[in-house]
Amino acid sequence: MSARTTTASVSTHILDTSAGRPAAGVTVRILARVGRDADWQPLGGSATDADGRCRDLPDPPEGTTHVRLDFAVEAYLERSESQSAKNQADAQQDAPANRDGAAVFFPEVSVTFAVAPGEHYHVPLLLSPFGYSVYRGS
């Protein structure tokens, strides 16, 4: 029996809904635990590609019951905000450099979900500067 059929597998991608495009260059960490009271074990990480996808997350080990994806979105949102402000400034010379001078509202997003052996879990993150949504995809 292959490892793919005895463990769960996980994939993700991030879509920037405010810009209508994939979010490239976001660091994603994957952690796993065996049972709800167990400690989280880091498994590794990756960064989203130009299509907003992490194609190389490690599979959770056998016996995993919960997986957590940690998305480090702050740097991406700062770059996105900076580009947006630059575009506004080009259009209007007196445009503010940062919307209301506020820092990034969600510097990171953590998503925890239960897994079963042999299942694949695709967990997309829909991201905007002031909100996010996740779901189990296919």
Domains annotated for the chain, with CATH where assigned, are: 3-72+109-134 (2.60.40.180)
Dist CA 45 CA 60 (whole Å): 12
Predicted model pTM: 0.83
The DSSP secondary-structure symbol of 22 reads E
Amino acid at 6: T
CB 19 within 8 A of CB 128: no
Does residue 48 register a pLDDT over 60?
yes
3-class DSSP state of 30: strand
d(CA 99, CA 101): 5
Taking only the tens place, the pLDDT of each residue in 68-101 is 999 999 999 998 876 655 445 444 454 444 445 5
